[in-house]
Structure 1
Amino acid sequence: MEKWSIKGELILNCSCTVFCPCVVSLGKHPPTEGRCQGWAGVRIDQGQSGETDLSGLNVALLLDIPGNMARGNWAAAAYIDERASDDAYDKLVRIFSGEARGTTGLFSILVSQFLGAERAPVSFEREGGKRRLVVPKRIIGEVEPIGGKEPGKEVVITNTEYWIAPDVVVAKANQGRVRAFGRVWDFDGRSAEICEIDWRGP
């Protein structure tokens, strides 16, 4: 199985009304609304899978989790940057479905229903502290860090065992709209997070 690595940034917005309890409970505490529904965006600054360059591509994810994250039975889908070559597309689907093992390997255990992967124009932009993800007609999201006591300094939960990243910036969604795979979600004002990622496998 070939080696792969991804460095970049991940943003996530979910249905929790306050900051995601999964970060510190590692999925053992239930989501605030009983189930977790959310979307995520990944900006790949540097990425490689075997001989295939993944740098500069974006990926969007849809996640629908019926209860405690650690109990599995997730439904998930992926939107892969339409700029990806056929080879890069295949490699990214393997990584984000968990098939490529490594950091994202738990998807292969926790996701019982992979709704599919589609090519799409996935846009991931940053303006100041705001991050914006757009998959036209499917996902429109914007998140930004919450305010802290010291102006201009992010509120960060550090040194966690959270699988996405050990340091998580606490954020909120200015906009979080999903219209995809039979899901119609509006999570404006709900929990969000921003993470610098350094993933690899197998």
Structure 2
Amino acid sequence: MSYKLDGSILEVCNCNVLCPCCIGEDADNGSCCAAIAHHFDKGSIDDIEVSGLTVACATFIPGNILQGNWQVAVYIDDRATDVQFEALSSVYRGERGGPLADFAHMYGKIVSIERAPIIFDLQGGKGKLDIGVDIHAELEPYWSPSGAPAVLLGNSISTTPCSPAIISKASAYRMKNPLLKVDLNLTGHNATQGHFNFQA
């Protein structure tokens, strides 16, 4: 097995709640600018242990999500060793197959792969994400009448395949990446959280 990655995801974008990209419709603003972070509670790539690390992507999606040509900046936890960095880079470039290669097929260009300090904090349904000085987001879920988080399952495009996506809202979302030509400072926009299990 090339890799096995299990953990939690935080995702935020500049669309309204709910992001229409999740059902293959056009983004609310003509393009979708998203930050997606994977924290590995347990993870290995071949025999390389990556548990406890986080990888995040800043993604610019021009037009409809299904048309591809995504522009992506990849941030790898600055605590990763050189060996871990290279292994994670190959997974996120799509070179090792599996679900992350499916996403990589949608990329038009990876503009950068770099180290960054990443804060991934998830407490009682509330999430906080900091990626260097480029990205900051704070989010919390919507709640169903039963008191459980409201979820989305079976959508056309999912960053949490085979697992419910918890519908959330970002009270703060900032992203600045010159390579992606993105400079955002927003409140009250779409966010999701969830669990992933990626294997190849």
TM-score, length-scaled by structure 2: 0.91
Aligned equivalent of 1:97, options 87, 93, 98: 93
User: What is the distance in 2 between the residues matched to 1:22 and 1:98?
Assistant: 21
User: What is the distance in 1 between the residues matched to 2:176 and 2:16?
Assistant: 20
Runs (4+) of structure 1 exceeding 4 A deviation are none
The reply to whether residue 175 of structure 1 matches residue 172 of structure 2 is yes
Tell me if the contact between 1:16 and 1:31 (Cα under 8 Å) persists in the aligned partners.
Answer: yes
Q: Displacement, 1:120?
A: 1.0
RMSD: 1.5
Tell me if the contact between 1:122 and 1:133 (Cα under 8 Å) persists in the aligned partners.
Answer: yes
* Identity in percent: 29
| Alpha-carbon displacement from aligned partner over 1:108-151 (angstroms, at most 9, x marks no partner) | 3211121111111111012221111112311111111013323x
Tell me if the contact between 1:12 and 1:192 (Cα under 8 Å) persists in the aligned partners.
Answer: yes
Q: Displacement, 1:161?
A: 5.4
Tell me if the contact between 1:103 and 1:163 (Cα under 8 Å) persists in the aligned partners.
Answer: no
The residue identity in structure 1 corresponding to 2:9 is L
User: What is the distance in 2 between the residues matched to 1:98 and 1:187?
Assistant: 31
Aligned equivalent of 1:112, options 85, 108, 118: 108
Equivalent in the alignment of 1:59: 55
Unpaired segments ≥5 residues, structure 1: none
Equivalent in the alignment of 2:122: 126
User: What is the distance in 2 between the residues matched to 1:135 and 1:20?
Assistant: 22
User: What is the distance in 2 between the residues matched to 1:161 and 1:171?
Assistant: 18
Tell me if the contact between 2:92 and 2:104 (Cα under 8 Å) persists in the aligned partners.
Answer: no
Aligned equivalent of 2:152, options 146, 150, 157: 157
Aligned residue pairs: how many? 196
User: What is the distance in 2 between the residues matched to 1:107 and 1:99?
Assistant: 11
TM-score, length-scaled by structure 1: 0.91
